[in-house]
Structure 1
Amino acid sequence: MDSSPPDRRTADYKPALAWFAALGAAWVFVLVVLGAFTTSIGAGMVFPDWPLSNGSLNPTGWLEDLAMFAEHSHRLSAGVMSTITLVLAVWLWRTESRGWLRKLGLFAVALVLFQALVGGLRVLLDHQHVEMVNTSVGRLFAMLHACLAQLFVCTLIAIAVACSRSWRSRSLPVTAGLRRAGLVCCALIFVQLGIASVMRHSFAGLAIPTFPYSTIQGDWLPDFWNFRIGINFAHRVMAVVITGALLWFFVQIRRNRALSIGIQLGASVMLSLLALQIMLGAAVIWTQRSPHMTTGHVLVGALTLGVTFWLTWLAHRDLIEEKSAA
């Protein structure tokens, strides 16, 4: 399998590869936006078949019908994403001497293909109902599809950062506490996005129709409980927990004066995205789940994870490279 001569592989900065990896990391957010908008307007099942749309790569009327346009655009952008990921993995395999980075490229390919399969099963199995959880098999796959999207975002960011000039040229001495704070924050945000996925695909986004209170009487706790109210309330509680965790991470970064101005600014961007995400979350409720507000909320959630993961990945730079060189 290893057909590339060893002398063609180096760990040097490769500008073209770095820019292509950055393109992949940017394009994934296009995919997130299109997927979020498709779900927000209820267009996920506008085409009952897969991988084609109404049996065609160019279904009739998809440019005139908003629901068809949203879903088919999402499928086309997923095809572009798969191509970018495959090219990136081959490029890494042929030119990159760091074995862990080559393997990460292969993992990205496996992940994007599995993600496509899960997206297809969401369509093909939507007619099968699961009585125990009162939802369809397709919607269960839709929840998994949304969670895998966040993992894919982090994977592409990791590759793009590892290909960058700054990663190769600059050591980043950080404390174990800062690295630990970043890992905790990434885990919490990932759990939160998983909860959000279950909430969206369980039609629980307005199960608690008031904000910031849980009742129109101004109570913090709901008057009664069921699954949808519980998952909605869990989403709100996690938002509070994540706010505290990101503030902790921000303080850890600001205390480390050795970190570059870029990382310091990144920490400020992270908190700004958090504030914007909270405002969008409130707007989703106040506008009765406006598709544009809901799509923005999903996008900013993914961006918040992306920036937090970027900072955490940079904090682990020296550990990763030292282990690779050993």
Structure 2
Amino acid sequence: MIAQVAGLLTIILAVWTWRVEKRRWLRFLGLAALGTVVAQGVLGGMTVLFYLPPAVSSAHAALAQTFFCIAVAIALFTGSKWVEEQPRVEFDPRKPSLFTLTLLSIFVLYVQLVLGAMYRHHGLSWWPHVVHAGIVSFVLAWTAVRALAVYSHIEAVRRPAVIMLSLVIAQLCLGFTAFLTRVAWGKDAAQPELPMVISTVSHVAVGALLLATTVILSIQVWRHVPVAFEERVPQAQRDPSAA
């Protein structure tokens, strides 16, 4: 029922953006949201037909969060603040740039998402997901600290950075709780117990929020803090005495 409602709303969203929106790239983003819902339905059907194969179930989980990120991005792009605001631009000469760090954050989050889905569907042991959580925490903390230390005066960058850092802390706590209820306490349970279900669902939900927040941060950094490209001037033109 929920999947049908989500699909119907996505169809309405895609039609609305295609008919009303003047930005061509945003119209195609609406179609991309619809495409992910269709693919999600296909993967969901395969998951049921083939009795939860780990690879298909993990792809189903990853695609669901991809759709969520696309929907959040569309909400951001169609908001009045995005349309009416004159972006405050500051070039980023640092290496790696903040934009590079946000892209790296998205990448490690996707890897973590797949590892977690593979573990939940019995396609992988728990330790890759736990070990990679340390990498994710380091990369996201690095990204958030850089954003807050250098660009805290830009609200569009500061706000998602603060939220991202807060969600990382919450996600670590939920991950530890999920580990205890699933691995330490509930590994011999015949059926998933309520604490395991609550902690796992909360862990997945906060993970989706964390990924979407990181995507928003990346978009805002791309808009407000573009990478500064060094202009290479020949030495003969750079030195006035050479003329």
1:272 partnered with 2:188 = no
5+ residue gaps in structure 1? 1-75, 127-135, 204-226, 321-326
The equivalent of 1:190 in structure 2 is: 110
Q: How does 1:111-260 map to 2 (within 5 A)?
A: 111-126=36-51, 138-168=53-83, 169-174=85-90, 175=92, 177-202=97-122, 228=125, 232-254=126-148, 255-260=150-155
1:263 to partner: Cα distance:
3.5
Distance 1:257 1:284, change over 3 A: closer
8 Å CA contact 1:167–1:317 kept in 2: the answer is no
Q: Give 1:258 deviation, angstroms.
A: 4.2
**2:206 counterpart of 1:300:** yes
Q: Report the Cα distance in structure 1 between the residues aligned to 2:103 and 2:88, rounded to whole angstroms.
A: 16
> Once the 2 structures are TM-superposed, how far is the Cα of residue 151 of structure 1 from its aligned partner?
1.0
**How much does 1:173 deviate?**
2.0
| Distance in 2 (alpha carbons) for counterparts of 1:256 and 1:315 | 9
Structure 1 residue 96: Cα displacement? 1.0
Q: Any idea what SS the aligned residue of 1:316 has?
A: helix
- Matches of 2:135 and 2:33 in 1, distance apart? 30
Identity of aligned residues (%): 33
* Counterpart code for 1:284: A
> Which amino acid is the alignment partner of residue 123 of structure 1?
V
Aligned residues: 208
Q: Provide TM-score, normalisation by structure 1.
A: 0.60
Q: What whole-Å deviation, never above 9, does each CA across 1:21-55 have from its counterpart, x for those lacking one?
A: xxxxxxxxxxxxxxxxxxxxxxxxxxxxxxxxxxx
Q: Which runs of 4+ in 1 moved over 4 A?
A: none
C-alpha distance after superposition, 1:131-185 (max 9, x if no partner):
xxxxx6x443211101111211111111111101121123142527111111110
The structural deviation recorded for 1:304 is: 0.8
Pick closer, same or farther for the CA change 1:319–1:274 going to 2, 3 Å.
closer
Partner of 1:110: 35
CA–CA separation in structure 1 for the residues paired with 2:41 and 2:79: 28
* Alignment match, 1:86: 11
> Which letter maps to 1:82?
G
1:60-75 pair list within 5 angstroms: none
Normalising by the residue count of structure 2, what TM-score does the alignment of the two structures yield? 0.80
In 1, distance between residues paired with 2:213 and 2:8? 24
Residues 283 and 293, structure 1, Cα contact 8 Å, conserved in 2: yes
Distance 1:172 1:145 in 2: 38
Residues 186 and 309 in structure 1, CA contact (< 8 A), matched pair in contact too: yes
For 1:180-216, what per-residue CA distance to the aligned partner results, in whole angstroms no more than 9, with x for missing partners? Answer: 111110111011001111111017xxxxxxxxxxxxx
Stretches of structure 2 lacking an aligned partner (at least 5 in a row): 187-195, 227-243
